[in-house]
Structure 1
C-alpha cells in the first residue's frame, strides 16, 4: 500500500510538472513597454474574435461589432498590451468562431513580464601589458537585472567566446580596435557606444608577456636598473680619476717648488761674499802671514790685482726665479780656499854685494 501511494504521488507530481511546463513563458515583455500578443490565425472579416486573460474577457468582437474592449486589438487580430506591469503576466487565450459559429483551434500564450536591461557603457582599464574591458550601466544608480546576458562586438564582429561582463586582452593586439557591449534578456536589449582604449603600456612587439612565469616588465625594469647602476659607476670612477689627477698635479707642483727653492738656496750658499762684506777670517790671517815672511824693504813679487781682489760679482736672479749658472762658479767650487793647501812664495832675491874695482877679475 505504501508503495502504491508513493507511486501515485510521484505520478501526480509529474503531471503537475508537465502542466507547469506547458504553461512556461511563451513570450516575454519588459515592464513599462508595449507588447503584441500574436493570434496565430488569419482572421476573416466574418469571424468572431474573443480574447481572455485570467478567465476574463478583455476583448470581444462579432461581425464588425465590438462588444468588449478592455484592450486594443490590431487589424490582424493580435492583442495590443501597453504600459506593461507585473500583474499583466499570465495566460492570454484567443477564441475564433467562423460565420457558422464553429470554434477554431487556437494557441494560448503565456506572457512573462521582466525588468528591462539598462543601457550599458564600456570601460577599459590598463594593467601591465593587458587591458580589461568591462560592461557596466551607463548611470551609476542603475543596476542590471539578474537574468541579463552579455555580448561583445569587436570591430562590428561578434566575439563568440566572450559571454561575461568583463574580460582581458593584450593591449598591443587591441590598440586601434573598437569594442561594443550588448546586454539583453528575454524582454529587451541595449547596446553601448563603441570605444577604443588608450593604454600607454602596449609592451614590446615580438616579446612575450611573461618569461619563466615572471612578467616581462620585471626583466625590463631589472635591465634598466643595471644600466643606471653602470652609468653611476662610470660617473663615480670618472670623478675619482679626475680628483686623483688633480692631487697628483698638485703634488708635482709642490715638488717642483721645493726643488726650485733648494736650488736657489744652494746657489746663494756657494756664492762668494759681496764686496761690502768683510772677507772671511781665514783669508785675512793668510795675508798677515805672508807680510810677516817678507823682509822689510822688499816688496817681493807683486801679485796680480786681479788675483788678489778678483771676486765674482753676484748676478741678479732671472725673472723666472732660477739664476743661470756662472762659468766662474765651477772654477771656484773646484779650488776651495784652505790654509793648509796654500803654496809658499819663492825666496826673495838678495841684494848684490859691492866689490872694489881692483878685485874684479
Structure 2
C-alpha cells in the first residue's frame, strides 16, 4: 500500500511539472523589450548572480561579469530582454547566492513569444433555409485566438466562436455587428457591419415553405400534362393504317399531274393542236421568170387553165433567160 501511495505521489509531481512546462508565465511579441519580474532588494556586488535560459547560462557575475553585459541587469537583479525574438522564448531561472555560497533567492518563469493578431474581416450571408444571418470573423491563423462579438456596442458574453448566427427576427431596424480577436499579447477589432437581407427573407418560414411547395406542385402538374399530350400524339400517329397512307399519296400525285404539265409532255403529243400547212409563196424572181412562158403560151397555143394543186409543189428550177428568147423566136 505504501508503495502504491508513493507511486501516486510521484506521478502527480511529474504531471505538475509537465503542466508547468506547457503553460506560460510571461508573454511577449517579436521585437518587444521585456524586463523579467524578479527583484532582490538587498542585492550587492558581493553577491553571486546567475541567469539561465533553457539550461544555458546567459549572465554570471561574481565580481566581474562573464558571460553577459552589466547593462543587462537592473539594480535589484532583474534581467532585461531587448528585441525579443522567437528564440527568446523558454524557461528562465535566476540564482542569487551569498558570498558564503548559500542560496539567497531563486526564481523560475516561462516566456512565450506570440505574433500580434491581424485585423479581422467580418462578412455575413443570409441563410434562407434557417431564416438567419450567419456572420464569419475571418482572420489569419485563428488557432489559439479568443473571439468575441459586439451587437450595437453590447458584448455578447455567451458567443466566443469564430462564427455567429442571428435570427432575422432580431434584425429589425439597423443592427451593427463587430468581432474582436485577441491573444495574450494583442487585440484587434473588425469594422462595423450592418447585415441587410432580401425582403423575401422577412416572411415567416412556414409561409415561404408553403409558397415553394405550391410552385413545385404546379411545375410537376405541367410536366405530367406535357408528357401525356406527347404520348397521345404519338399514339394517334402510329394508328394511321397503310391504306389511308396510300390513298393520301395517290391524291397528292393526281393533284400534281393536273396542275403541272411539263414542256416535254406537250412535245410528245402534237396531235392535240392541228395547224394547217401554209402555202409557200413564190419568190419575186420566180414570178418574173414565169411571165414570158405565159406570153408564149398565149401566142402559139390556146390558153391553159392552171389547176391549183391540193398540196404544195416544190418551186420550179429557174432557167436562163437566153433560152426563153430562143423559144420565142422559133
TM-score (norm 1): 0.46
TM-score (norm 2): 0.49
Instruction: From the two aligned structures, give the one with the greater helix fraction.
Output: 2
- Structure with the greater alpha carbon radius of gyration: 1
